[in-house]
Structure formats: structure tokens, C-alpha cells
Amino acid sequence: MTTRYSLSEIRDRLANARSVTVLTGAGISADSGIPTFRGADGLWKNYRPEELASPDAFARNPALVWEWYNWRRELIAAKQPNAAHTALVTLEHRAENFWLITQNVDGLHRAAGSRKLSEIHGNIWKVRCTQCGIVEDNHAVPIPIPPTCSSCGGLLRPHIVWFGESLAREDIERSLHALRSCEILLIIGTSGVVYPAASFASVAKEQGALVVEVNLDPTSHTSLVDASFHGRAKDLVPLLVPG
């Protein structure tokens, strides 16, 4: 643990903060048992995520891509939000101005009760029609492969930002507003290497925010932040959030 502040000092600062922004990554979901789908343990039928999560892969073989996403949905459906997710819901209710930015697509923040949030990489429980563009919730497990739109019959795709695609402009604008106006930024379970989220700590720091990191190991953010606590999100985040 390397920090200029103690857990109790950050807790006191959060108790008195009017404006709080939170950025979460795979680390908070890992504490609910959700694999990262990256690296050696992320292989599925000899495919890597980078080979499947792209517009080109979907154009070549939509059924194969949907088989992978159905497998992921089945894994995620069995998982529940953990203590870190629920602590952030408490923080949302406490802070006058609160916004949660998540890189996760598993929907666990929404399942825990978070409502003020941007899912900047999308949500695995949403589908988008490739023909009419409608976006809908879809929690079918298993999902029919390939799924079709109930409105126009077009092919559905996961409402996920794939490799080679840009994040939604409204999500970026809302996130930047939250980062530039917050008193405290909490960064939880993200390594800080995927852009644009990797730049979010710097954006908040430039506006004078106190930046706090919670992660298992040091990250690219660690040298920049004001406080860095090393451990599991489910253990540390509840200690930081006032009850």
C-alpha cells in the first residue's frame, strides 16, 4: 500500500465531498468471479477475444461471434454483484453529484442498483439491430443464434464497443464532464492502459481533484494518484465508502 492518505482519511473526504466520480474496470468484476476473457485463460475454442470482438469477425461469421457471447452471458448470469458494487450504490445516494464510469460490460453495476453511470464499452445484456438500429435489453440465456430483431427481423449484434469501433460520443462527453467537475475520483480495478479511460486520471488531476486508486497491484496510474490502496475491491471499497 503506497499512499499519502490513510483509508480513514479518504473515507472522511468522501463523507464531505459533494461531487464524486468513479471509474471501474475488470478488477471489481473479478471479485464476483467473472473472468477477464483476456490472456491464456480467456481462450475460447482456440479463439482470442480480439479475433471475435470486431465488426469484421461478425461480418464473416455472426453465428460464431454469438456463440462466444452466449457463452459469456451464461457465465455472467450466474454471478452476483459484490460488496464493492453495493458500496458504490451507497456512495451514489450520498454524494450530491455522482457519476460512475465503467469499462465493464457485465451489467453488475446496474444489477447492484447503480443508476448514474456510463457503460462506455457497452452492455452484454443489450442488443442492437444491424438493420433498424434499435437497442433493447435482452437477458435470454441461452440466446437464439443468431438472434433477430422483433421489430424488423434484422440481425442483432451485441451492444458492445468492439475493437476498431469508437466509443459513443455522448458517453465520452458525459464522462469528461464528470471528471472535470469532481472533487474526488475513485479508480477501481483498472490497469490504466486502455484508452480513453487511461487518460481519465490526468483529466481529473488537472482540475484539482483528489485521485484515489484501488487495485490488486500497482498500475500506470499509481505514480500519478494521491492515494493507492492495494487489495481486492470487495474488501477495500466498503472501507472507503461512508455508511
How far does Cα 239 stand from its chain's mean position? 21
**Domain ranges within the chain, ordered by starting residue:** 2-34+81-121+167-240, 35-78+122-160
> Pick from 175, 200, 205: which is nearest to 188 by CA?
200
Radius of gyration of the chain (CA): 18
What distance in Å separates the CA atoms of residue 189 and residue 103, rounded to the nearest whole number?
Answer: 10
pLDDT score for 103: 96
CATH fold match for the domains 2-34+81-121+167-240 and 35-78+122-160: no
Q: H or E element: which one contains 156?
A: strand 156-160
| Backbone φ, ψ for residue 12 (5° rounding) | -65, -40
Q: What are the DSSP E strand ranges found in 34-80? A: none
Catalytic residue among 85, 121, 159, 221: 121
Superfamily of domain 35-78+122-160: SIR2/SIRT2 'Small Domain' (3.30.1600.10)
Give the global pTM.
0.94
CATH of domain 2-34+81-121+167-240: 3.40.50.1220
Query: Is residue 25 within 8 Å of 190, Cβ to Cβ?
Result: yes
What distance in Å separates the CA atoms of residue 87 and residue 35, rounded to the nearest whole number?
Answer: 21
pLDDT tens series, the chain, 243 aa: 455 799 999 999 999 999 999 999 999 999 999 987 665 556 788 888 888 999 999 999 999 999 999 999 999 999 999 999 999 999 999 999 999 999 999 999 999 999 999 999 999 999 999 999 999 999 999 999 999 999 999 999 999 999 999 999 999 999 999 999 999 999 999 987 778 888 999 999 999 999 999 999 988 888 899 999 999 999 999 999 987
Is 121 an annotated catalytic residue?
Answer: yes
